[in-house]
Amino acid sequence: MAAPLLHPDRLFPADPGVRALARELFAQVEALPILSPHGHCDPAWFAADAPFPDPASLIVTPDHYVLRLLVSQGVSLESLGVAPRDGGPFETDPRAIWRRFAEGYRLFAGTPSRLWLDFVFAEVFGLQEPLGPATADAHYDAISEALMRPEFRPRALYERFGVEALATTEGALDPLDHHRAVAASGWGGRIVPTFRPDGALDPDQEDFRDQLAGLCEATGEDALSWPGYLAALRARRAHFIAHGARASDHGPPSAASLDLSEPQAEALFARVARGAPESGDAEAFRAHMLVRMAEMSVEDGLVMQLHAGALRNHDPATLARFGRDKGADMPQAVDFVRGLAPLLHRFGHAEGFTLIAFTLDETTYSRELAPLAGFYPALKLGAPWWFHDSPQGMRRFREQATETAGFFNTVGFTDDTRAFLSIPARHDLARRMDCAFLARLAAEHRLRREEAADIARALAYDLAKAAYRL
């Protein structure tokens, strides 16, 4: 008999005694509800509750993890169903896209994508044969047939996955119509927006001035003046909060913060708003607005998330031809100690303020982030993110951060995904890795078993619920 696609002891330690303890801990948290407090799923899925169209458009084309690895082996984005911005030809046959994906599936060996995808195939669709060229059509047909059934519609899957709350991410000007539709539908699922104002805070983004005009239109404030701009941002935050938002999210390239005087800030805004910035103005403006966003979070209670360290759109040719979020973003070094100093000096001890820091620069875990979180009450450490949302990445994070920050200055797991079907897979992986880490500590008598069980629950559920005020 062929081995199952997913081994029940996957990711647990090889030592039999420690593995047994990890298994015991995992059994206590495996079925806990899923909190997904930050991600990029489309709220329209839950507003319309329509069937997903086909396997390729659901699993392949929107997943930048899948795209980037296939592109690295010479597969074109067009052949994977990604439409060029110039209207050029691209593959529109979902079965052809799926076959191309299946041909390259062996490339994902050893990656977290392989673990997530195998979980989706086995646990969501009941497929036990590995995906490859020989099984591509059978997988495609089985998934296509399943997607037409009521139990595979978005709301039914949300309930089947055991999701308790799911946050999406929207730009500052989003009207949140889909969230309004979900709330009016009477369905019991909890889908909340997250305020992501980067487009309105970053003069380097090509649509920055359009964002300012949009703020004027959406709020009635004169967002081309400094006082009106701040008032407009406060109004948009209030709009999000009225629709259930619990957090804001900020993705600057660095963690720089800058606390300017009002005259300095007003002069800087005037230059960037009229499209005449001086050298260094864009970085200075982003850095100052990070402090202003913290100030507004102190006022209105939105949890502030900082995703720093991504150099977006590294390949200009891909950006020009296909646009953003096609797998060409890259990690870069981040200075948190000096960068966040102005923000933390003002708000690091502010009552009720929470700043959750994520990074792509792993070298900062033990040197900077854990010591900062181990002192400032406002600062919490987000889960390993993006390139490090992986078994080894999670292990490195726990090993490097725990000794200085402990477990309770972290916020559990955040899946941060566009791939809805992968949410239970990602939480399963994170819970297994945390239980493996805790089992080792218990086996070395650094934790009591009952203490390890309490921490396993906190990491799987309690810390996220508390940090995001869910």
Q: DSSP assignment, residue 250? A: E
Please list, residue by residue across 180-204, b when 16 or more beta carbons sit within 10 angstroms of its beta carbon and e when fewer do. Answer: ebbbeeebebbbbbbbbbbbbbbbe
> Which of 117, 152, 187 corresponds to the end of one domain?
152
Same domain, 272 and 163: yes
Same domain, 119 and 201: no
Cβ distance 266 to 237 under 8 Å?
A: no
Question: Rounded to the nearest 5°, which phi and psi values hold at 298?
Answer: -60, -35
Tokens of 322: 């296909």
Residues of the chain with pLDDT below 70 are: 1-2
User: Does 9 fall in a domain?
Assistant: no
The order of strands in the sheet holding 34-36 is 34-36, 163-167, 191-192
pLDDT tens figures, 17-50: 999 999 999 999 999 999 999 999 999 999 999 9
Per-residue CA distances from 288 to 151, 207, 266, 282, 357 (Å) = 48, 20, 11, 10, 17
Q: DSSP assignment, residue 462? A: I
Same domain, 170 and 319: yes
Same domain, 42 and 125: no
Tell me the C-alpha distance between 174 and 327, whole Å. 24
Cβ distance 438 to 447 under 8 Å?
A: yes
Tokens of 335: 């200075």
Q: The domain that contains 111 carries what CATH number?
A: 1.10.2020.10
User: Does 7 fall in a domain?
Assistant: no
Per-residue CA distances from 60 to 57, 83, 98, 253, 368 (Å) = 6, 13, 7, 27, 37
Q: What pLDDT shows up at residue 324?
A: 87
User: Does 189 fall in a domain?
Assistant: yes
> Which of 133, 152, 171 corresponds to the end of one domain?
152
Q: What pLDDT shows up at residue 3?
A: 72
Per-residue CA distances from 371 to 36, 113, 379 (Å) = 26, 31, 10
User: Does 324 fall in a domain?
Assistant: yes
User: Does 1 fall in a domain?
Assistant: no
User: Does 143 fall in a domain?
Assistant: yes
Q: The domain that contains 337 carries what CATH number?
A: 3.20.20.140
User: Does 56 fall in a domain?
Assistant: yes
pLDDT tens figures, 403-421: 999 999 999 999 999 999 9
SS3 track for 345-385: HHHCCCCCCCEEEEECCCCHHHHHHHHHHCCCCCEEECCCC
Q: Total domain count for the chain? A: 2
pLDDT tens figures, 252-301: 999 999 999 999 999 999 999 999 999 999 999 999 999 999 999 999 99
- 411 lies in which domain range? 16-51+154-467
Same domain, 81 and 173: no
Give the bridge partners for 310, in sequence order.
331
Q: Which helix (H) or strand (E) holds 342?
A: helix 341-347
The structure's pTM equals 0.97
